[in-house]
Amino acid sequence: MDTILVTNAGSSSVKFQVFGIETNGTLKRQIKGQMDGVGSRPRLRVTGADGAVLVDRTYESRNVPDVSVALTTAGAWLRDELKIDPVAIGHRVVHGGPDYDKPVLVDQDVLARLERYVSLAPLHQPYNLAPIRSILARYPNLPQVACFDTAFHRGHGALADHFAIPLSLHAEGVRRYGFHGLSYEYIAGILPDVAPDIGSKRVIVAHLGSGASMCALNGGRSVESSLGFTALDGLPMGTRCGQIDPGVLLYLISEKGMSPADLQNFLYRDCGLKGLSGISNDVRELQASDDPRAAFAIDYFVYRASLFAGMLAAALQGVDALVFTAGVGENSVSVRKAIAEKLGWLGISIDPDANAKHARLISRLESRVAVYVLPTDEELMIARHTLSLLAQPKSSPKYARVS
């Protein structure tokens, strides 16, 4: 069976999945793995479709010094041990800039364009591109597809897309992009099956994790997002500040003597829940702590999420459903409860028992707004986009029959 490899590379880890292409053109997840601790304590762990552990192996740090080598090492294991030789590789790329509003086959020109946006997503973009660059050099004929977190939001109207700055800057690409688009696209795609009476209506999706944002969907299309030009805006995140008065940034430069590099590092790595609590960027650790700063950080996160839900409800002129997804959204009973309570004015009322059980539908029957907990699947979206591009005759005649 032909396969597609999907990768999601970070600064110290590479997550990957392998999907088999069935004869009818559908995708079947075969393998899920991760190489983490890159550069320090590298560990490769892979499970099969049934959850059974296929490998759990550690490496010397000098042998896996960066994410490119990590993916090469994982790829060698897949090829040598499982005889997997993918027909294409799909990659998550956080920022597509103004050039790309849909997935694209990567060549040297595309790679060069995407490298221009490294400064707009420094926690993600350089690491997303490193494996692409390495594979392009080693296997130039192997199709690679870049799938963008910004693409799903590119249909926003002009009012949602602009900042209140001269139009010439918007023409250069300084605009509100929105992120986590692969996650929102997946949720928008499954909603009509999960809730046929809701899928085509007004929905707020809360993608809550170490990276967090919220999105307003109307008829399955993104109309507004909490994130903007970079992945710093909107909600406070694990280590990112979220929405902040630009005057604070001017103050840090003029009064604290921060350089642009210092400021970038500070805003991306030392703020958010980590900065507020002084303890951790992990919600689980904060919830387990009895330090009042940890409780404050969680309360702040909940408060800001409720504010942005109100903003998105205004953009939609009402709301019919709220969906929680991603790590915190899918797993934290208390965060969901706290946000829902602050949104009682919207008519939201959740069932404590259903919420505690992580049920799919957690709202009460009398709730005016339906509330769902839905696992997201960004990797499946990447695999689908990759297969779709392979299906185009100019990309790969072999798959021209696949729809």
Distance of alpha carbon 401 from alpha carbon 302, whole angstroms:
48
CB contact at 8 A, 197 and 283: no
Name the active-site residue from 149, 233, 320, 377: 149
Output the CA angle 180-275-178, nearest 5 degrees.
20
Size of the chain, expressed as the number of residues it contains: 403
Backbone angles phi, psi at 16, to 5 degrees: -150, 155
Residue 376: exposed, middle, or buried by beta-carbon count in 10 A (0-12, 13-18, 19+)? buried
Structure tokens at 58: 């550690």
How many of the other CB atoms lie within 10 Å of CB of 393?
A: 10
Distance of alpha carbon 84 from alpha carbon 77, whole angstroms:
9
CB contact at 8 A, 207 and 216: no
Distance of alpha carbon 347 from alpha carbon 332, whole angstroms:
21
Which amino acid belongs to residue 160? Answer: A
Residues 6+ apart with CB under 8 A from 246: none
| H or E, element range at 152 | none
| 245 labelled catalytic | no
Backbone angles phi, psi at 198, to 5 degrees: -115, -30
Residue position matching structure tokens 């005649």? 397
Return the CA Rg of the chain: 21
| H or E, element range at 200 | none
CB contact at 8 A, 258 and 293: no
7, β-bridge pairs? 16, 91
Of the candidates 180, 187, 177, the residue with the CA atom closest to the CA atom of residue 209: 180
Catalytic residues: 149
